[in-house]
């Protein structure tokens, strides 16, 4: 949860970053690494009408449209707007408002709805907001307040991972089928906030995040159905938090985030769940952290975010698979 604007600079002054987790070899053998598909990263020629960060971004049923909900504006205030972004031309049109302004919420597309889970303004909230067709209604309450979490969707279920309630990290992995009732399905092995997360099949991978002391970690955690506790199954190439993640094909792509020194990163990594290996595959034109992100049209969209010094940006970037040569 980002503090009020007068304390915003404190969040960007991270302590020395430390590693965490265990090597893949400590959890059994993995398959040989297969080179990931060639990837590219580009900045779109157009920009958003105004800078935004820490917002929820979700794909819409209509091809190439994205939904942008809440976030932090250029003044450091929480936003309540809901906007449709036409990614073909960069046209932005308002499509309603949230019931409560928020940032650092977890977001998940579930059917024709988008869940905006937790987040808050000056303190974490326990509420869920459900947006559908330009109208937002109140959903159910979380077991406790939570901000700085992430969420993924598998089939008809959304899962919430990571985050904290203010004093402490929340290790509970929550599941919901409707945004109105939540159940605890697992516990993270490492309590973190600002993780990246991605679902591959029925498995949820949780990458990095900040630990209780504000250090970025290298842990890659795996949440599997039927297992009450997540396992640490690998380590990132470097400590990482506040990155964007998306699955293209069967490969997870991680882009941007905060690494050593607290500066935003340009790095794009590919993660192969079979071999549990990382490869550096591209560089973002704009180094960002805390961006809204979603996969749509076979590409990972990275919308806004924060550049050096925590300044929000209006840039929109994409990560995609390069076509095969020949």
For 49-104, the DSSP string reads SS-BBS-EEEE-SSTTEEEEE--B-TTS-BEEEEEEEETTTTEEEEEEEEEEEEBS
Task: Using the CB atoms, write b or e for 181-195: b if 16+ within 10 Å.
Answer: ebeebbebbbbbbbb
Residue 175 corresponds to which tokens in the numbers above? Answer: 């599941």
Domain ranges, ordered by start, for the chain: 31-321
Task: Please tell me the predicted confidence (pLDDT) of residue 64.
Answer: 79
Task: Please tell me the predicted confidence (pLDDT) of residue 305.
Answer: 98
Q: What's the CA gap between 222 and 88, in Å, rounded?
A: 35
Task: Please tell me the predicted confidence (pLDDT) of residue 10.
Answer: 35
Per-residue pLDDT of the chain (326 residues; tens, 9 = 90+): 765 443 443 333 333 333 333 334 334 444 556 788 889 999 999 999 999 999 999 998 766 799 999 999 999 999 999 999 999 889 999 999 999 999 999 999 998 999 999 999 999 999 999 999 999 999 999 999 999 999 999 999 999 999 999 999 999 999 999 999 999 999 999 999 999 999 999 999 999 999 999 999 999 999 998 899 999 999 999 999 999 999 999 999 999 999 878 899 999 999 999 999 999 999 999 999 999 999 999 999 999 999 999 999 999 999 999 887 75
Residue 216 corresponds to which tokens in the numbers above? Answer: 């970025």
pTM value is: 0.90
Which class would CATH give 31-321? mainly beta
Task: Please tell me the predicted confidence (pLDDT) of residue 260.
Answer: 74
Task: Please tell me the predicted confidence (pLDDT) of residue 17.
Answer: 32
Residue with tokens 């949780």: 206
Task: Please tell me the predicted confidence (pLDDT) of residue 62.
Answer: 67
Residue with tokens 């304390």: 7
Task: Please tell me the predicted confidence (pLDDT) of residue 145.
Answer: 98
């Amino acid at each position: 949860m980002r503090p009020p604007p007068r304390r915003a600079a404190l969040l960007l002054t991270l302590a020395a970053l430390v590693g965490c987790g265990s090597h893949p070899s400590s959890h059994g053998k993995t398959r040989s690494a297969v080179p990931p598909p060639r990837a590219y990263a580009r900045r779109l020629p157009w920009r958003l009408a105004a800078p935004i960060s820490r917002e929820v971004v979700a794909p819409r049923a209509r091809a190439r449209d994205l939904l942008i909900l809440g976030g932090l504006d250029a003044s450091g205030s929480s936003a309540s707007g809901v906007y449709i972004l036409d990614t073909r031309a960069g046209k932005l049109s308002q499509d309603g408002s949230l019931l409560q302004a928020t940032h650092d919420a977890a977001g998940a597309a579930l059917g024709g709805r988008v869940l905006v889970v937790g987040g808050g303004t000056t303190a974490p909230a326990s509420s869920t907001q459900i947006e559908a067709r330009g109208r937002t209604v109140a959903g159910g309450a979380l077991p406790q307040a939570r901000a700085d979490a992430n969420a993924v969707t598998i089939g008809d279920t959304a899962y919430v991972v990571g985050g904290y309630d203010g004093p402490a990290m929340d290790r509970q992995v929550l599941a919901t089928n409707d945004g109105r009732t939540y159940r605890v399905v697992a516990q993270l092995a490492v309590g973190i906030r600002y993780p990246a997360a991605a679902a591959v099949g029925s498995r949820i991978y949780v990458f990095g995040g900040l630990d209780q002391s504000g250090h970025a970690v290298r842990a890659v955690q795996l949440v599997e159905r039927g297992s009450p506790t997540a396992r640490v199954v690998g380590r990132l190439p470097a400590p990482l938090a506040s990155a964007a993640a998306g699955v293209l094909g069967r490969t997870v792509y991680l882009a941007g985030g905060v690494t050593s020194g607290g500066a935003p990163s340009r790095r794009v990594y590919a993660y192969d769940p079979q071999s549990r290996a990382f490869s550096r595959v591209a560089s973002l034109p704009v180094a960002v952290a805390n961006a809204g992100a979603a996969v749509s049209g076979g590409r990972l969209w990275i919308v806004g975010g924060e550049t050096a010094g925590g300044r929000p940006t209006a840039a929109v970037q994409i990560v995609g698979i390069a076509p095969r040569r020949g």
